[in-house]
Amino acid sequence: MALITPNSTAAYSPIIRVLYCNVCGTLESLPLYDGPAEGDTLLEVLVSRHVFPSGDPHLGHLFRIPQLQWEDETIRRQVIEQIKGGGSKGIDEFDSSFYATKDTFKEDAMVCFNKHLRPKDSCGDYMSDKMILLPDTKAARKEMGLPSPAKAPGPKNHLCGFCPIHQVVQNKINDLRLK
Q: What pLDDT score does 160 carry?
A: 94
As a whole number of Å, the end-to-end CA separation of the chain is: 47
DSSP string for 107-141: HHHHHHHHHTT--SS--TTTT-GGGB---S-HHHH
pTM of the full predicted structure?
0.61
Which residue type is seen at 63? Answer: F
pLDDT per residue as tens, the chain (179 positions): 444 445 555 557 799 999 999 998 899 999 999 888 888 999 999 999 999 998 889 999 999 999 999 999 999 888 888 888 754 455 555 555 555 666 888 889 999 999 999 999 889 999 999 999 988 888 888 888 888 888 888 788 999 999 999 999 999 988 888 87
Q: What pLDDT score does 31 carry?
A: 93
Asked if residues 16 and 29 have their Cβ atoms less than 8 Å apart, the reply is: yes
Q: What pLDDT score does 93 carry?
A: 55
Domain ranges of the chain: 1-102, 105-179
d(CA 12, CA 66): 8
Q: What pLDDT score does 154 carry?
A: 79
